[in-house]
Amino acid sequence: MTAAPPAIVARDLAVGYGGRAVVDGISFEVPAGGCVCLIGTNGSGKSTLLKTLAGLIPAVAGGVEVAGAAPGTQPARVGYLAQRPASSFTLPIRAADVVSMGRFASLGLWRRATSADRAWCEDAIDRMGVRPFADRPLLELSGGQQQRTHLAQALARRADVLLLDEPTAGLDPNGRETFAEAVAAERARGTAVAMATHDLGDADGADVVVLLAGRVVAIGHPSEVLTDDHLRASFGFTGPH
Amino acid sequence: MYDALIAPFVDNQFLERALYAGVLVAWCCAVVGSFVVLRGLAFVADALAHGVLPGIATAVLLGVPVVLGAAVGTVVMMGGVAVITRRSRLSSDTAIGLFFAGMLAVGVMITSRARSFTGDLTRILFGELLGVDASELWWQAIAVVFVGGVAWTCRRPFLLLCIEPELAATSGFRVRLYETLMLVIVAVAIIASFQSVGTLLVFGMLLAPASTAALVTRRLGAMMLVAAVLGSVCTYAGLLVSYHADLAAGASVVAVAVGVFLATFAGVEIRDAVTGGGIGIPPGAVQRHAHTHDDGAHVHVHGAEHPHGHVPGERR
C-alpha cells in the first residue's frame, strides 16, 4: 500500500508579482486532510502565496503542486476564498445564489446542476449559518454575514484543497466557532486546508505553520515555529500565544 | 382607443416594421445591456457605438454594405484598445477614450468630405426606424439568436465576471476569453441595431431598460427578461408618441426608455423611504466594477466608503 500523495507541495518556492519575489525559499508539504497556516504581518506575503497556490499569479521560481497538479489546473478540486471577495452590488444577488456560484467550477459551461449540487449548496448554507439570511441580497448583509456567505461558497465547491485568505476576518465568536467546526469536518473527509491568518490561535490545530515577514522566518510544526524568538522576529513582540 | 393605440400599426406598414425592428433591438440590447450595466462596460459600449462611425462612413463612400464597415470599425477599435492596454501602462479607460475620440474624429472627417454625406451622417447617428426593410429585420433576428446563444452558453462565466471576477478565474474559466466574448456580443448588438436607432441612440437602448431592470430584480435571468419586456413596451410607446406627435421615431423610443428608468428610480426611492428598506444600493455603498489583468483579478473601487467599513481591494 502506497501513501497518498501530498495535497499541497511547495519546493523552494518564490512568490511575487511581475517576476519579482515577495518571499522566496518556501518549502512544505501538506497531506490530504492536513492544514497549513500562513502567519505574518501585513504585506508579509501570505496572500501572495495563497494566490500562487490558487493559480491566480504564476510562481516566480521553484516548484509547486496543488491537488497533484500545477496551480489553477484543477479548479473543481481547489477552492479559494479571497481576503475580501470583490462582489459587485449592482445586481442585489441573494446570499443563496452567491453560495451556489461555488459549484460553477464543477458545472463548467454545460453541465446542469443536479440534486447533489443543490444539496451541497444547502449543506454549506446550513454549516456556515447562512440560512437565516440566505434569501436576502448580499449588499444588505453585515461584513460578518457576507464572510459567512463566501465561506459557504468555498465549502459548496466540495474541494480537495481549500485556500482561505483570512477566513475569520469579520466573524463574531459564534462565527469563528462555526468556521472551526466546518474546517474540522472538511479535514475529516480528507480536504487539505491552507489558511492565511493573523490569529495565532488558528494555528493550534495546524500540521504546518509558515511564519512570514517578507521572508520565511520559520516553517514546521506549530510547537517548533510559534516560539517567542520566531514571533519576535516576525511581529516584533511575542503575542498572546 | 383602438384608433389611438392599435390602428397606427395595422394601417401603416412602416410603423409595423418599425415595431418589429424596435422589439428585436430591445431584446438584443436587453441581453447585452444587462452585462454592460453589471460589468460596468458603459464607457466601452459608448466608445464602440461611436467607433463604428468611420467604418460605416467608409462603407458608404465605397458602396459596400454598411454592416461590413461597422464590423471593421469595431474590430479596429477593440483591437487597438487591447494592444494599447496590454503593451503600455495606460489603463483601458484611457485607451478606450483615445480610440473613442480618434475614431469619431476620423468618421466626421470622412463624412465632411461631401455634402451628400450630411443625410447619411444623421441616419448613422440617429437611425431610421421607420425606414427598416425586411432584410434588416432578418439580420436583427439573427443577431438576437446569436447574442442569446452566446449569453446562454456563457451564462456562468459571464455572471462570475459581473459579480465576482476573481471567482471566474479560480473556477477554471479563461477570463480573457470570456471578457472578449462579452465585448463581441456588445459589438454585435450595436452593429445590428444602429440602422434602426442609430449609433448614438443604441447606447440608450443598451443602458436604459437594463438599468431599470437592475433596480427591481435580483437575478440575471430576471433582469434580462424584465429589460426585454420593458424595452419592447418602450418601443411600442415611443412609436405611438412619434406617430401622434410627429416626432423622430428612434429618439422617441429612447426618450421613453430613459423616462421609464427615471420614473422607476423615483418609485423605488419613494418605496424605500416609505418601507425603510428595499433592494436598492444603500447610501455609502461603493459602486465597483472589476476586470482582470495578467496578474489576476484587479478591482477598481469607485466611491467613498464601503457600507461595512472597509474598502474592497485594499490590502490589509
**Contact state of B288 with A75 under an 8 Å Cβ cutoff:** no
Written as one string, the DSSP assignment of A4-55 is PPPSEEEEEEEEEETTEEEEEEEEEEE-TT-EEEEEESTTSSHHHHHHHHHT
Task: Look up the domain containing A203 and give its range.
Answer: 8-235
A129: left (phi over 0), alpha (psi -120 to 50) or beta: left
Query: From the candidates B34, B39, B161, B171, which should be mutated to test the interface with A, based on the most A CB atoms within 10 A?
Result: B171
Q: pLDDT confidence of A86, banded at 50, 70, 90?
A: low
Alpha-carbon span B216 to A71, nearest angstrom: 40
Name which residue leads in pLDDT, B149 or A140: B149
> What's the mean pLDDT in B189-218?
87
Contacts of B255 (CB under 8 A, 6+ apart): B238, B241
pTM greater than 0.80: yes
Report yes or no on A77 lying in a domain.
Answer: yes
Q: Is B210 on the interface with A (CB under 8 A)?
A: no
Whether residue B156 is predicted with pLDDT greater than 50 in this model: the reply is yes
Report yes or no on A104 lying in a domain.
Answer: yes
Alpha-carbon span B141 to B22, nearest angstrom: 11
Contacts of A169 in chain B (CB under 8 A): 316
Please give, rounded to a whole number of angstroms, the shortest distance from the CA of A86 to a CA of chain B: 6
All 3 cell numbers of residue A167?
A: 477566513
Report yes or no on A136 lying in a domain.
Answer: yes
Handedness of CA A173, A175, A178, A184 (dihedral sign): negative
**Contact state of A86 with B166 under an 8 Å Cβ cutoff:** yes
Total domains present in chain A: 1
Name which residue leads in pLDDT, B311 or B13: B13
ipTM: 0.87
Please give, rounded to a whole number of angstroms, the shortest distance from the CA of A119 to a CA of chain B: 19
Total domains present in chain B: 1
Alpha-carbon span B260 to B37, nearest angstrom: 16
**Contact state of B164 with A72 under an 8 Å Cβ cutoff:** no
How many C-beta neighbours within 10 Å does residue A129 have?
19
- pLDDT for the residue numbered B55: 85
CATH number of residue B265's parent domain? 1.10.3470.10
All 3 cell numbers of residue A166?
A: 483570512
Name which residue leads in pLDDT, B6 or A136: A136
All 3 cell numbers of residue B204?
A: 440608450
CB B235 within 8 A of CB B251: no
Closest chain A residue to B300 measured between Cα atoms?
A86
Report yes or no on A240 lying in a domain.
Answer: no
Smallest CA-to-CA distance from A59 within A12, A9, A20, A15 is with A15
Report yes or no on A2 lying in a domain.
Answer: no
Instruction: Tell how far CA B149 is from the center of its chain.
Output: 17
B63: left (phi over 0), alpha (psi -120 to 50) or beta: left
Report yes or no on B303 lying in a domain.
Answer: no
pLDDT digits (tens, 9 = 90+) for B40-57: 888 888 888 888 888 888
Report yes or no on B238 lying in a domain.
Answer: yes
Contacts of A143 in chain B (CB under 8 A): 308-310
Query: Is A241 exposed, middle or buried (CB count within 10 Å of its CB: 0-12, 13-18, 19+)?
Result: middle
Task: Look up the domain containing B240 and give its range.
Answer: 2-277+288-293
Report yes or no on A133 lying in a domain.
Answer: yes
Distances (CA, A) of B43 to B36, B93, B97, B298: 9, 8, 8, 18
**Contact state of B160 with A54 under an 8 Å Cβ cutoff:** no
pLDDT digits (tens, 9 = 90+) for A10-35: 999 999 998 888 899 899 999 999 99
Edge-first strand listing for the sheet containing A208-212: A78-81, A161-165, A192-197, A35-40, A208-212, A216-220
Report yes or no on B46 lying in a domain.
Answer: yes
CATH number of residue A65's parent domain? 3.40.50.300
Query: Is B95 exposed, middle or buried (CB count within 10 Å of its CB: 0-12, 13-18, 19+)?
Result: buried
Report yes or no on A1 lying in a domain.
Answer: no
**Contact state of A143 with B308 under an 8 Å Cβ cutoff:** yes
Q: Is B299 on the interface with A (CB under 8 A)?
A: yes
**Contact state of A90 with B38 under an 8 Å Cβ cutoff:** yes
